[in-house]
Structure 1
Amino acid sequence: MSKPPKPTGRPRTGARVAAVQALFQAEQTGETTETVAHQFIRHRIGAGGSDDTFEDGRIPLAHIPLFEAILKAAATRSEATDAEIRTHLQKDWTLERLDPVLRALLRAAAAELMAGTEPPARVVINEYLDIVRGFLDEETSRFANGVLDAMAHTLRPTEFGAAR
């Protein structure tokens, strides 16, 4: 009996992309994250047609348990995640001033960083930086990198050798 083929793609990255999109949609429509999560699982995650891609609004490969965990953490800890993000913005910046896609991405990342110690903070940072580069310009990517790095150092100081 042969071994089943190894899965291809990056399902955890897909879960994070879907989480950012779902948080964005929930904020824009006023729907709950739970409602949006169900919509994504039914209609956007997984292979629909053979040629469905991210550009078609689908997330062909996503780890659904991670997607749900990020959304649940972001929803149940929304005040804490927003407060954490605010502490790492410059004085003249408000959370509301951020691009809504960037705001959704930072909320997903903050929720994931606050949820535990796995995956390592550097993995979380790199994953979300890959995502921000797919949606926003280079200047915004650098901005996101600074905020993500500062949040990770604050939330998981032991992973970086010392507390700030």
Structure 2
Amino acid sequence: MIDSPKPTSLKAVMETLNAQEAAKPSSGLTSKEKRARTVARLVLVQALYQMELTGTGVETVIREFSDHRFEGDLEGEKLADADEAFFGEGARAIVKEQATIDRLITDRLAAGWRIERLDTTVRAILRSGAWELKFRPDVAVEVVINEYVEIARAFYGETEARFVNGALDGIAKDTRG
């Protein structure tokens, strides 16, 4: 099993995302459900990273996370708090719709850039965000972009966070008008 790079501070990411969510109008989810989605997004990025590096199939990774990983924690955040259904839906859909998702991402890259040139974790972040923007219209654009930008910021810093923000903003315009 290969672990993805750990964010510099998951606790800081969760605090930032929770503060942003508290300031927004209700999306119909409780604060506990919102937090569960946030954790699921982070775990989804980790699972995509792992699948790409190991070549492991989606069902195997979902089963591994369900059987073993959700029992643990990452920097004090209990992964058991993740929305496992959302995680599983995302992982399966991203694999199934990868050609469509990758085309959305590629359309937002600079001329001459291919998606394969992106860092594996950045690719996982963008695929996760693009999936939600394209296939989960029930999730607000602002929520999707904010959450994945914060995940990028935790893994890398401002440069990659700005890149993720710009790419997902463009994908949002392409998919939701």
Match of 2:152 in 1: 132
Partner Cα distance (1:8, 1:113) in 2: 19
Match of 1:17 in 2: 42
Segments of 5+ residues of structure 2 without an aligned counterpart are 1-30
Match of 1:102 in 2: 122
How many percent identity over aligned positions?
39
One-letter code of the match for 2:133?
L
Match of 1:153 in 2: 173
One-letter code of the match for 1:25?
Q
Residue 116 of structure 1 and its aligned partner are, at CA, apart by 3.0
Alignment of 1:51-130 (within 5 A): 53-55=73-75, 59-130=79-150
Partner Cα distance (1:7, 1:74) in 2: 25
C-alpha spacing 1:9/1:119, structure 2 compared with 1 (3 Å): closer
Residue 35 of structure 1 and its aligned partner are, at CA, apart by 1.0
The TM-score normalised by the length of structure 1 is 0.83
After TM superposition, what 4+ stretches of structure 1 lie above 3 angstroms from structure 2? Answer: 6-9, 55-58
- Deviations along 1:44-85, one digit per CA (max 9) or x if unpaired, are 114x4xxxx314897242001110111111011011101110
Q: Which has the higher contact order (CA 8 A, sep 6+)?
A: 2
Preserved CA contact (<8 Å) 2:33 2:83 = no
Bigger-Rg structure (1/2): 1
Q: How many residue pairs get matched?
A: 147
CA RMSD of aligned residues (A): 2.0
Residue 118 of structure 1 and its aligned partner are, at CA, apart by 1.1
